[in-house]
Amino acid sequence: MSLKIALAGNPNSGKTTAFNRITGAMQKVGNWGGVTVEIKEAEKTIDGEKVVFVDLPGTYSLSAFSEEERVAREYLIEQKPDVVIDVVDATNLDRHLYLAVQLMELGIRPVIALNMWDEVAKRGIAIEIDRLRRLLGLRIVATTARTGKGIDELLREAMEQARAPRKEHAPLRIPLPHEIASAVDRLEKLIGKSISTTYPSRWVACKLLEHDDEIEKLVREQPEGDAVIRMRDTAEMEISELLGDDPGNMIAEARYGYIAGLLREVVSQSRRNAVEVSDRIDSVLTHRFWAFPIFIAFMWLLFQATFKIGEYPMGWIEAGVEWLMTTTQNLMPASVIRDLIVDGVIAGVGGVIVFLPNILILFFGISIMEDSGYMARAAFIMDRLMHRIGLHGKSFIPMLMGLGCSVPAIMATRTLESRNDRIKTILLTPLVSCSARLPVFVLFAGALFPKHAGNVVFLFQVVLGFAAFVGMALLFKVTLFRGGEEHPFVMELPPYRVPTGKSVLIHMWWKARHYLKKMGGVVLVFSVILWWAGQYPKAPEIEARYEKKIEAVRHVGNVSLDEKDDRVASLESAMNAEVMRQTYIGRIGRVLEPVVRPFGTDWRGAVSLVTGFVAKEVVVGSMGVLYAVGDEVDEENDALRDELKHHFTPLTAVAFMLFVLLYTPCVVALVTLVRELKDRRWSIFSVVYQVVLAWTAATVVYQTGRLLGLG
């Protein structure tokens, strides 16, 4: 059997960076909490032996208050890895060693990676590693995962411990106040006699006093469980009356006291009063008045760059797609297969892939926020607003991640301690515009609002999505989630760091890979389906009728050549529209048209929106097929933009974009949402409320605009 080594650690300790260094994997790495929200595995052969490395969710403790803590704890207890590497931030040992202490209380002897060692000297900190090894009785290695320093030594220590004969280590016993220690001893004896569990009895006793829901549920399910709970309740009441504090708090304080005494022996700091660079930056970026304007300015600049800088590579890709279409037409004989490849595959996929530069620029900006440490600050400054709308400060992180993709954003809600907070955040996160909607906004902004395209994209991609998030949160607060329990915002603010080029490229690659996979899968399949549905059944009688009219125009005398060309173009456009209306897709569109008419959209827009339920990128591909006016037209060249100008006004474009912004995300995001909610009723409610909200908002905007004479 292969060896199994698990990496554990606090959020932002560098755990996933170490995992990537050890295995060569390219998992997402960020300078903020909650990056890893599920277990990831990678294999590596070391000295001819296969080793499975496991990247556990980042967690501050082994109390099951949040999803990632529960997942990490269950894995460590049930899977029993051969070695646990605990990656700790060496500049913040008083907080990060708390997890190591809890592992030792479970009888696990972790290998400690004192990570971010390069920053220890910069901060004037001195750590006696040999003395720390002796005091804890653990293998300890200084590492800088970002550069790879110390990783080989860490790997050697882990492998030596894994190959050593397995020993049962006595769980660490933290010194507790006499009254609590007495209660723990009594509970430990009763649990040992009457409760069947793989956890150490003393650890279960402490967790009961800390009101760990998972452990309490486990005990209550046992035949003698009620007796244990009654003893716990009695002991808790006696301790609270005698000491005036909750025993759970005092147990946590005892752990921190143990760590503090340990660090007094091994840590010294020569510049204790030095003002850190991070503190100086925070005095501005988290300032009471300047924090919000700075955040808004950063996001506005990001989307200006997304549109302005992205225009140049977009043009290159457009030219490449047009060249590929023309070349394919010239090389292949006229046939159905050629039409399928040119108008279905190349036009459909090419018209969506043209937005890849915009997507990459957006991901670049978000990656800088994550790696620099600003993402955590953004959550911190938004905490007060989040609480006012009935959410936790940590809910802002999934909200901001939603700008990239709804799937990881929904999964990031696992970092929230309260189930109600998780449900609310999952329901609201899809309202934030993901990168898949960006092509739709760029297309319409360039066609209908060319002078203000960057601002229009920013409005829909950021402002309106966040506004919808806040508005619906307020509505949920006073309706579905009234009187919910509030949890304090506790999140470590990491030091600012200059993002490495490799880290930013890894982020961009992971997000771009997700986008490109859609191009080769969902978008390709639906482009072909849409092309076929838009070609059949054929209507030769309609084409013959229009050909006669076109021929008659060409033989009219006393008319200029330009005027003839205009009439011919108008007839060809009318012919294409009439032919399209009687195809399968046209018939489907006419059935759906009454639903979208209230917000000013025709049957082609209806079909595009329906295909968008699969993936939002398909909306653009659908329009490329539905509004195409000739073989050489792809959905992102000037011909399509001209067609949109003919079929949309600025008002109908705004209503259409609003619907795209607010209705349900892609199928993959919907599956993730259902999986994370774990409740059929909430899942159905999520889909229904988003569609109703989208239709209502789009209709109100359009009808109000018409009343004001804007249509």
Q: What is the pLDDT of residues 672-686, one digit of tens each?
A: 788 888 888 999 999
Give the residue from 426, 459, 478 where a domain finishes. 478
Q: What is the per-residue pLDDT across 237-251, written as a single tens digit (0 to 9) for each?
A: 888 888 777 888 888
User: How distant is the alpha carbon of residue 52 from its chain centre?
Assistant: 26
The pLDDT of residue 75: 85
More reliable by pLDDT, 77 or 496: 77
Name the residue among 568, 542, 555, 385 with its Cα closest to residue 466: 385
Q: Is there a domain that residue 308 lies in?
A: yes
The predicted model scores a pTM of: 0.58
Q: Is there a domain that residue 572 lies in?
A: no
Q: Are residues 182 and 42 in the same domain?
A: no
* Measured distance CA(139)–CA(154) in Å, rounded: 9
Q: Is there a domain that residue 137 lies in?
A: yes
Q: Is there a domain that residue 508 lies in?
A: no
* Measured distance CA(600)–CA(611) in Å, rounded: 18
Coil, strand or helix at 413: helix
Q: Are residues 26 and 52 in the same domain?
A: yes
Q: What is the per-residue pLDDT across 360-374, written as a single tens digit (0 to 9) for each?
A: 777 777 777 777 777
* Cβ neighbours around 168 below 10 Å, total: 6
The pLDDT of residue 685: 94
* Measured distance CA(535)–CA(546) in Å, rounded: 17
If you average pLDDT over every residue of the chain, what do you get?
A: 80
The DSSP call for residue 493 is -
- State yes or no: cis peptide before 313, omega within 30 of 0: no
Q: Are residues 88 and 19 in the same domain?
A: yes
Q: Is there a domain that residue 706 lies in?
A: no
The pLDDT of residue 275: 42
Question: Residue 247: which region, alpha, beta or left (left: phi > 0; alpha: psi -120 to 50)?
Answer: alpha
Q: What is the per-residue pLDDT across 375-395, written as a single tens digit (0 to 9) for each?
A: 777 767 777 777 788 887 777
DSSP notation for 625-687: HHS--STT--TTSHHHHHHHHHH--HHHHHHHHHHHHHS---HHHHHHHHHHH--HHHHHHHH
Q: How many domains does the chain have?
A: 3
Q: Are 598 and 703 in contact (CB under 8 A)?
A: yes
Coil, strand or helix at 37: coil
Q: Are 686 and 432 in contact (CB under 8 A)?
A: no
Q: Are residues 248 and 143 in the same domain?
A: no
* Measured distance CA(694)–CA(100) in Å, rounded: 48
* Measured distance CA(639)–CA(351) in Å, rounded: 12
Q: Are residues 262 and 297 in the same domain?
A: no
Q: Is there a domain that residue 607 lies in?
A: no
Name the residue among 65, 68, 61, 85 with its Cα closest to residue 6: 85
Domain that holds residue 259: 178-269
* Measured distance CA(549)–CA(574) in Å, rounded: 11
Q: Are residues 228 and 153 in the same domain?
A: no
Query: What integer is the mean pLDDT of 653-668?
Result: 89
